[in-house]
């Protein structure tokens, strides 16, 4: 809905948290006003609007735990739901071949977007839109296991930064570090984040600030000088299809060969390409060679035909065949490592043969050790750079320490306190890997607190797993406490490791700690089949109860002459908006053997719509980013209408669809005849197209609207139809507004 005169007057008093409308205009952000959209989910639960939740509230922030763990390669995906459906006996036998090898990541179910990798740009755009539409302000990345997922993180930042340059809104970003500093895990993680993201000032517009500084969930002591001199540990990095690994280094004297040591994890038929550049990434190519049939941990060298002089160089590994990586170090004072062309934490070890020497020497391109004074100064900078909130791991601490933030808790969740003792944060979870007898427990063991757990027991009634009783109970507690920050767990947490034993537990059943199946999992992102998008709309509903929502203005009543001029629409309010740039195509590999995910349905990018009316007609207007395509199929620029805001009738509530049968100057009006995607034509109406604009005049009699006032919900959709269900508007073409959401027109 656009910032036109009447809409501006209405919204001027309704200021989103910390941002006035004038500032919003100055930023040129294309606000789609998703908090004014309406929706009813598959269980007929209607999300509340401003009338039910009140106007936008000051100082309310919604955070979402976010995971970046899905990578290319591997033999999966292994899906527990699929495995146990085909082999129910496997629950008592971890050696059943259906499980695959131990320690492999297993999915609890299939994501709606498929078994995607974490750097899938198409998915990252969808995530940003869905999270913003739900009211999420910041995603908090899970780095609690010391892995910082630099490549996936940087790709997300690049995509979201690009969206922001296009005028779109995305969530901010923050980080959760390990819960302790055993073996320097906390220090290594914090310093890696600081060195690779914050110190270089990368993606600064995305940083989430709390009390004026970037927020990090970590102990300040992780930055202490005594912890800065960690011994580096030897670790391999796997090379993924389409990516590169690199190491920048400085030769202090001439050399004749350069290479490294390359693991294949005991596999055969592995290969790759090594390339040497002068300077750094993007420098002049000096040497290159492709290798095949690489043996595990082979030491390979690029040979120069003459000695290369001292100076700075960059060695890059690319074009993997099979399973292959590069040995290196993490921690300590190592530096110079690049992941897919971006600086990352750690270093790859090199083998170098100096000029005049017969054997190659193994080196680690590390900076000089920090002096005690330098270590103290480094610690001071990191301490002063962030706002620290110490991460709390246990789920049952009812009197948490000041200055600590939890990520997941049992009901009733304890309020988390600021360093000075004020209530500051509370968690909301979908489920908890916990039981009343042994406390922290695997999700796959009896007694875990699943999605249906509430009132001290697991609900077993019909559709219990879809209704989110645990989520409801936790959200009601959060609303009761009403803190400035609510931390929800979580989004895209699809996998857990497959273990034979963990923390005193031993199989059978197989051990899956954080996720197991549909009931015992805690992901909000929509899934294929199962509970679909039920939890997503629960999130939307409670986010509005927590943060409030802007009210809907009534629609302008105006006669729209169907003369092809479109000028009369300028005075019509409000303008409904949709995301710009959300028709991108997808052609990427999934996890393991999931295959290639291809979607080329994006076509007309719908950016704005309007609705008006007079005594005889209801008028609809739509605008696209570029000139409208010619109609080539029955899914071209469809207009779905719910004439009574009743979602128990029609297909997904839509009583009518317009435009499936288009003539030169008239188009069809069809009525849903059986609650499915089946339509019967009831008439024809006038329509006009000019460039990137389209308008339609529909007699009120066709829609059965005899008297005013009336409330109608509507959606524009281009090239969306595939299955004839709710997923069409999420997966295909462009729907305005997104997913199950609809625009609401109030005719007075």
Looking at the predicted structure, is the pLDDT value of residue 4 above 60? no
Looking at the predicted structure, is the pLDDT value of residue 549 above 80? yes
**Running DSSP on this structure, what letter comes out for residue 238?**
E
Torsion sign across C-alpha atoms 521, 523, 526, 527: negative
pLDDT tens readout for residues 121-157: 999 999 999 999 999 999 999 999 888 888 899 999 9
pLDDT tens readout for residues 503-548: 899 999 999 999 999 999 999 999 999 999 999 999 999 999 999 9
Confidence of residue 371 (pLDDT cuts 50, 70, 90): low
Confidence of residue 366 (pLDDT cuts 50, 70, 90): low
Residue 217: per-residue pLDDT: 98
- With H, G, I as helix, E, B as strand and everything else as coil, classify residue 616: coil
Looking at the predicted structure, is the pLDDT value of residue 393 above 90? yes
What average pLDDT does this structure show over 310-339? 81
Distances (CA, A) of 357 to 303, 354, 480: 13, 6, 73
Looking at the predicted structure, is the pLDDT value of residue 16 above 80? no
d(CA 172, CA 161): 10
Residue 23: per-residue pLDDT: 34
d(CA 716, CA 166): 22
What average pLDDT does this structure show over 339-360? 84
Higher per-residue confidence, 10 vs 715? 715
Looking at the predicted structure, is the pLDDT value of residue 226 above 90? no
Percentage with pLDDT > 70 across the chain: 93
User: Exposed (0-12), middle (13-18) or buried (19+): which is 713, by Cβ within 10 Å?
Assistant: buried
Confidence of residue 191 (pLDDT cuts 50, 70, 90): confident
Residue 1: per-residue pLDDT: 37
Contact 474, 413 (CB under 8 A): yes
Q: Please give the span between the terminal C-alpha atoms of the chain, in angstroms, as a whole number.
A: 18
Residue 345: per-residue pLDDT: 64
Cβ contacts of residue 422 below 8 Å, gap of 6+?
none
Range list of H helices, 316-421? 372-385
Radius of gyration, alpha carbons of the chain: 28
Q: What is the mean pLDDT of the chain?
A: 90
Contact 622, 716 (CB under 8 A): yes
Torsion sign across C-alpha atoms 673, 679, 682, 688: positive
Residue 18: per-residue pLDDT: 31
Residue 67: per-residue pLDDT: 96
Angle of CA points 405, 411, 416, to nearest 5°: 20
Angle of CA points 19, 25, 26, to nearest 5°: 90
d(CA 343, CA 192): 10
Give DSSP secondary structure letters for 371-392: PHHHHHHHHHHHHHHSEE-EEE
d(CA 201, CA 226): 26
Residue 514: per-residue pLDDT: 96
Contact 415, 476 (CB under 8 A): no
Higher per-residue confidence, 61 vs 241? 61
**Running DSSP on this structure, what letter comes out for residue 720?**
-
Confidence of residue 229 (pLDDT cuts 50, 70, 90): very low
User: Exposed (0-12), middle (13-18) or buried (19+): which is 183, by Cβ within 10 Å?
Assistant: middle
What average pLDDT does this structure show over 182-202? 87
Joined tokens for residue 123: 């998915």
Nearest to 43 by CA among 463, 435, 633, 329: 463
Looking at the predicted structure, is the pLDDT value of residue 351 above 90? yes
Contact 171, 64 (CB under 8 A): yes
User: Exposed (0-12), middle (13-18) or buried (19+): which is 497, by Cβ within 10 Å?
Assistant: middle
Nearest to 274 by CA among 310, 247, 241, 240: 247
Contact 70, 495 (CB under 8 A): yes
pTM score of the predicted model: 0.84
Range list of H helices, 518-625? 534-547
Phi-psi region of 73 (alpha: psi -120 to 50; beta: other; left: phi over 0): left
Higher per-residue confidence, 608 vs 182? 608
Confidence of residue 3 (pLDDT cuts 50, 70, 90): very low
d(CA 217, CA 209): 12
- With H, G, I as helix, E, B as strand and everything else as coil, classify residue 197: helix
Phi-psi region of 293 (alpha: psi -120 to 50; beta: other; left: phi over 0): left
Which CATH number does 552-747 carry?
A: 2.60.40
Percentage with pLDDT > 90 across the chain: 77
Helix (H) or strand (E) segment spanning residue 213: strand 213-217
Place of tokens 């739900």: 134
Looking at the predicted structure, is the pLDDT value of residue 343 above 80? no
SS (H, E, C) 108-146: CCCECCCCCCCCCHHHHHHHHHHHHHHCCCEEEEECCCC
Residue 282: per-residue pLDDT: 81
Cis? peptide before 557, omega within 30° of 0: no
pLDDT tens readout for residues 607-624: 999 999 999 999 999 999
**Running DSSP on this structure, what letter comes out for residue 359?**
S
Nearest to 138 by CA among 209, 87, 85, 204: 209
Q: Where are the beta strands (DSSP E) in 603-747?
A: 606-613, 617-624, 638-642, 656-662, 666-672, 679-690, 693-699, 710-718, 734-736, 743-747
Least confident residue range of 85-89, 187-191, 215-219: 187-191
Residue 628: per-residue pLDDT: 98
Residue 330: per-residue pLDDT: 60
Least confident residue range of 216-230, 234-248, 461-475, 646-660: 216-230
* Sequence spans of domains, the chain: 57-225+384-547, 233-363, 552-747
Joined tokens for residue 486: 């609510």
Range list of H helices, 357-463? 372-385
Long-range pairs, 376-385, Cβ under 8 A, ≥24 = 376/225, 378/223, 378/225, 378/228, 379/223, 379/224, 379/225, 379/227, 379/228, 382/190, 382/191, 382/194, 382/223, 383/220, 383/223, 385/194, 385/198, 385/213, 385/214
Angle of CA points 201, 217, 245, to nearest 5°: 50
pLDDT tens readout for residues 267-304: 878 999 999 999 888 889 999 999 999 999 999 999 99
Give the CATH class of 57-225+384-547. alpha beta
Looking at the predicted structure, is the pLDDT value of residue 14 above 50? no
pLDDT tens readout for residues 409-438: 999 999 999 999 999 999 999 999 999 888
Joined tokens for residue 720: 């969306």
pLDDT tens readout for residues 38-86: 999 999 999 999 999 999 999 999 999 999 998 876 788 999 999 999 9
Looking at the predicted structure, is the pLDDT value of residue 335 above 70? no
Give the CATH class of 233-363. mainly beta
746: β partners: 711
Contact 307, 254 (CB under 8 A): yes
320: β partners: none
Confidence of residue 696 (pLDDT cuts 50, 70, 90): very high
Looking at the predicted structure, is the pLDDT value of residue 324 above 50? yes
Confidence of residue 369 (pLDDT cuts 50, 70, 90): low
Joined tokens for residue 489: 């767990």
């Amino acid at each position: 809905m656009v910032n036109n005169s009447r809409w501006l007057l209405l919204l001027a008093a309704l200021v989103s948290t910390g941002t006035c409308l004038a500032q919003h205009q100055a930023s040129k952000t294309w606000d789609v006003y998703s908090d004014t959209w309406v929706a009813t989910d598959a269980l007929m639960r209607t999300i509340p609007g401003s009338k039910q939740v009140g106007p936008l509230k000051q100082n309310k922030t919604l955070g979402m735990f976010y995971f970046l763990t899905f990578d290319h390669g591997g033999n999966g995906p292994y899906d527990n739901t699929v495995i146990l459906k085909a082999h129910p006996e496997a629950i008592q036998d971890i050696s059943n071949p259906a499980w695959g090898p131990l320690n492999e990541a297993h999915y609890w179910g299939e994501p709606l977007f498929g078994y995607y990798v974490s750097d899938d740009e198409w998915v990252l755009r969808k995530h940003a839109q869905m999270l913003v539409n739900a009211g999420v302000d910041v995603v908090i990345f899970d780095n609690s296991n010391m892995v910082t997922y630099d490549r996936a993180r940087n790709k997300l930042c690049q995509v979201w930064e690009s969206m922001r340059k296009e005028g779109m809104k995305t969530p901010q970003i923050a980080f959760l570090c390990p819960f302790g500093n055993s073996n320097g895990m906390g220090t290594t993680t914090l310093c890696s984040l600081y060195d690779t993201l914050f110190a270089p000032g990368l993606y600064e517009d995305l940083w989430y600030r709390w009390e004026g500084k970037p927020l990090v969930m970590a102990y300040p002591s992780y930055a202490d000088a005594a912890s800065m001199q960690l011994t580096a540990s030897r670790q391999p990095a796997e090379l993924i299809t389409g990516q590169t690994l690199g190491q920048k280094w400085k030769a202090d004297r001439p050399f004749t060969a350069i290479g490294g040591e390359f693991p294949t994890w005991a596999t055969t038929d592995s290969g790759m390409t090594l390339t040497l550049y002068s300077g750094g990434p993007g420098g002049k190519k000096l040497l290159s060679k492709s290798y095949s049939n690489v043996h595990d941990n082979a030491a390979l060298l690029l040979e120069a035909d003459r000695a290369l002089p001292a100076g700075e160089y960059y060695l890059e590994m690319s074009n993997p065949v099979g399973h292959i990586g590069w040995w290196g170090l993490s921690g300590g004072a190592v530096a110079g490592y690049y992941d897919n062309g971006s600086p990352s934490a750690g270093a790859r070890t090199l083998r170098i043969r100096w000029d005049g020497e017969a054997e190659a020497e193994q080196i680690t391109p590390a900076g000089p050790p920090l002096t005690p004074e330098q270590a103290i100064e480094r610690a001071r900078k990191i301490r002063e750079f962030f706002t620290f909130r110490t991460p709390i791991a246990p789920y049952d601490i009812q009197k948490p320490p000041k200055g600590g933030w939890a990520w997941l808790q049992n009901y009733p969740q304890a309020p988390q306190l600021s360093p000075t003792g004020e209530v500051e944060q509370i968690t909301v979870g979908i489920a908890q890997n916990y039981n009343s007898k042994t406390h922290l427990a695997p999700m796959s063991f009896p007694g875990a607190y699943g999605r249906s757990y509430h009132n001290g027991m697991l609900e077993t009634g019909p559709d219990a797993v879809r209704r989110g009783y645990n989520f409801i109970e936790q959200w009601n507690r959060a609303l009761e406490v009403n803190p400035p920050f609510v931390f929800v767990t979580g989004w895209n947490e699809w996998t857990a490791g497959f273990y034979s034993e963990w923390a005193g537990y031993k199989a059978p059943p197989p051990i899956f700690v954080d996720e197991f199946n549909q009931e015992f999992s805690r992901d909000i992102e929509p899934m294929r089949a199962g509970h679909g998008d039920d939890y997503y709309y629960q999130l939307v509903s409670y986010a509005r109860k927590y943060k409030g929502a802007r009210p809907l203005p009534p629609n302008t009543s105006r006669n729209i002459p169907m003369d092809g001029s479109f000028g009369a629409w300028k005075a019509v309010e409000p303008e409904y908006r949709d995301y710009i740039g959300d028709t991108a195509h997808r052609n990427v590999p999934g996890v393991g053997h999931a295959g290639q995910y291809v979607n080329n349905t994006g076509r007309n990018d719908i950016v704005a719509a309007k609705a008006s009316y007079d005594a005889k007609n209801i008028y609809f207007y739509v605008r696209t980013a570029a000139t409208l395509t010619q109609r080539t199929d029955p899914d071209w620029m469809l207009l779905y209408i719910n004439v009574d805001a009743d979602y128990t009738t029609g297909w997904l509530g839509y009583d009518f669809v317009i435009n499936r049968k288009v003539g030169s100057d008239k188009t069809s009006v069809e009525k849903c005849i059986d609650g499915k995607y089946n339509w019967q034509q009831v008439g024809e109406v006038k329509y006009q197209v000019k460039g990137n604009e389209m308008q339609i005049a529909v007699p009120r009699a066709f829609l059965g609207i005899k008297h005013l006032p009336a409330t109608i919900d509507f959606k524009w959709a281009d090239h969306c139809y595939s299955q004839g269900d709710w997923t069409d508007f999420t997966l295909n073409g462009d729907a305005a507004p997104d997913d199950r959401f609809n625009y609401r027109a109030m005719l007075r």
